[in-house]
């Protein structure tokens, strides 16, 4: 009697998602840390080459931001590598009370940073900047994720890392392509508009000697107030930018949704974490010493809508897959574009053409506040809707 052939062990399947997470997180961490260290070296060596100028404090902020972003990518890289080699790591549970403190400490951090600037203690601002940039993200993420079943730390950190690296990279590339096209259109218009074209030689002569953004706005006043140029700017920042960013912030979910079952709550969580990474990227790298306190304060609203809209988009994508409700994706996507575009449009007008808002400043700030409160409300209500119902104690005892 012949012996049955021994069954061969199943060949392990190539886990390209984990490899993608590991490589993306590792290269992202290496890139950010390289930028941070090189920027720090530049600030340290700057006095040796530029005796008349002091340290470039904005570069120091960029250095601290890049180092912090690189460190935040390391958990995703380590967890994905451990998963590839079947090495489970212990889960770390964040105490909810620590997350709640974010909303208490955030205004104190902004006040501390403002005081440091007034006291000209710029060297101490970078850690305060990192703290303030991270607190708003951490607090809003806690509001959205508390009580939800996420699917493990690797998925959690991977979704966050995708918002910190892949989503901004794709968005920047596409926005540059769109911006280049609009720039070409704007250049043709300017060259065929004598009133604007005649100012170009003067602008080229004065531009290298500008000291701050106010001088830049005064120099380009006629350009920003031209209806066609302003229309191109609003078209870019209020339409094309939201179209791109709202589509790619939940990039991790677009990758995972076709590979594994994703609940509606997990879709919301993955999208929210992607939006959190995206918002943190903007928080860290959009600051300037001259307007640090005001920028950091306004960034809370931008952080809220980035996180809320990405979470909504993630929920809609998962629901379309699970319940065959694809229309929800288009409705949510349209709502996100409207919210994002309205915010960007008001900020553009406030920054570049404040004269157009003269007499309407309070209304403009009221709209930004409304968007902020709406976004926080979305995060809280979606969490309550998707959080699993508590099991009664009597049922647990049986």
Per-residue pLDDT of the chain (398 residues; tens, 9 = 90+): 455 555 554 445 667 888 999 999 999 999 999 999 998 888 888 777 665 556 778 888 999 999 999 999 999 999 999 888 887 766 656 556 666 778 889 999 999 999 988 888 888 899 999 999 999 999 999 999 988 877 788 889 999 999 999 999 999 999 999 999 999 999 999 999 989 888 888 888 877 777 667 777 888 888 888 999 999 999 999 999 999 999 999 999 999 988 888 899 999 999 999 999 999 999 999 878 878 888 899 999 999 999 999 999 999 999 999 888 888 899 999 999 999 999 999 999 998 888 888 888 899 999 999 999 999 999 999 999 998 754 444 444 43
| Domain parsing of the chain, residue ranges | 147-386
HSE at residue 124, side-chain half, CA atoms within 13 A, is 11
- What is the pLDDT, as a whole number, of residue 397? 40
- What is the pLDDT, as a whole number, of residue 329? 92
What values do phi and psi take at 385, rounded to 5? -70, -35
* pTM exceeds 0.85: yes
- What is the pLDDT, as a whole number, of residue 126? 92
- Full 3-state SS string of 50-108: CCCCCCCHHHHHHHHHHHHHHHHHHHHHHHHHHHHCCCCCCCCCCCHHHHHHHHHHHHH
- What is the pLDDT, as a whole number, of residue 396? 42
Q: For the chain, how many residues are written?
A: 398
Q: Which two tokens stand for residue 170?
A: 């794709």
Q: Which two tokens stand for residue 308?
A: 């809320």
242 Cβ neighbours under 8 A, 6+ residues apart: 336, 337, 340, 341, 344
Residue whose entry in the numeric block shows the structure tokens 């709209």: 367
Biggest distance spanned by C-alpha atoms of the chain:
99
Q: How many CB atoms lie within 10 A of CB 152?
A: 13
* CA 360 to each of CA 226, 271, 363: distance values in angstroms, whole numbers, following the listed order: 20, 35, 5
């Amino acid at each position: 009697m012949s012996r049955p052939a021994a069954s061969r062990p199943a060949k392990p399947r190539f886990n390209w998602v984990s490899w993608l997470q590991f490589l993306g997180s590792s290269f992202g961490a290496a890139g950010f840390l390289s930028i941070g260290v090189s920027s720090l070296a530049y600030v340290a060596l700057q006095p040796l080459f530029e005796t008349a100028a002091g340290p470039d404090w904005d570069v120091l902020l960029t250095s601290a931001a890049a180092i912090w972003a690189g460190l935040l990518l390391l958990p995703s890289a380590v967890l994905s590598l451990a998963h590839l080699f079947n090495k489970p790591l212990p889960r770390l549970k964040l105490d909810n009370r620590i997350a709640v403190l974010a909303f208490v400490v955030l205004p104190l951090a902004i006040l501390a940073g403002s005081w440091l600037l007034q006291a000209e203690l710029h060297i101490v601002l970078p850690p305060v900047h990192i703290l303030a940039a991270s607190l708003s993200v951490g607090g809003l993420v806690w509001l959205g994720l508390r009580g939800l079943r996420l699917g493990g730390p690797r998925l959690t950190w991977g979704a966050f890392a995708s918002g910190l690296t892949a989503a901004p990279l794709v968005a920047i590339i596409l926005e540059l392509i769109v911006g280049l096209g609009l720039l070409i259109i704007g250049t043709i218009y300017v060259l065929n508009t004598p009133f604007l074209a005649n100012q170009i030689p003067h602008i080229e002569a004065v531009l290298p000697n500008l000291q701050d953004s106010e001088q830049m706005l005064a120099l380009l006043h006629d350009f920003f107030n031209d209806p066609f140029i302003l229309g191109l700017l609003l078209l870019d920042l209020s339409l094309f930018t939201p179209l791109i960013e709202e589509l790619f912030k939940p990039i991790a979910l677009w990758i995972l949704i076709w590979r594994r079952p994703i609940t509606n709550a997990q879709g919301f969580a993955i999208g929210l974490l992607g939006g959190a990474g995206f918002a943190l990227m903007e928080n860290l790298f959009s600051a300037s010493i001259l307007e640090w306190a005001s920028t950091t304060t306004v960034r809370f609203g931008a952080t809220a809508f980035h996180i809320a809209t990405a979470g909504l988009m993630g929920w809609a994508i998962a629901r379309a897959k699970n319940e065959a409700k694809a229309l929800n994706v288009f409705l949510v996507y349209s709502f996100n574009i409207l919210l994002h575009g309205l915010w960007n449009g008001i900020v553009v007008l406030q920054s570049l053409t404040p004269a157009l808002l003269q007499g309407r400043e309070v209304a403009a700030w009221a709209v930004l506040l409304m968007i902020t409160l709406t976004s926080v409300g979305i995060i809280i209500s979606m969490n309550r809707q998707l959080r699993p119902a508590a099991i009664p104690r009597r049922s647990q005892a049986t």
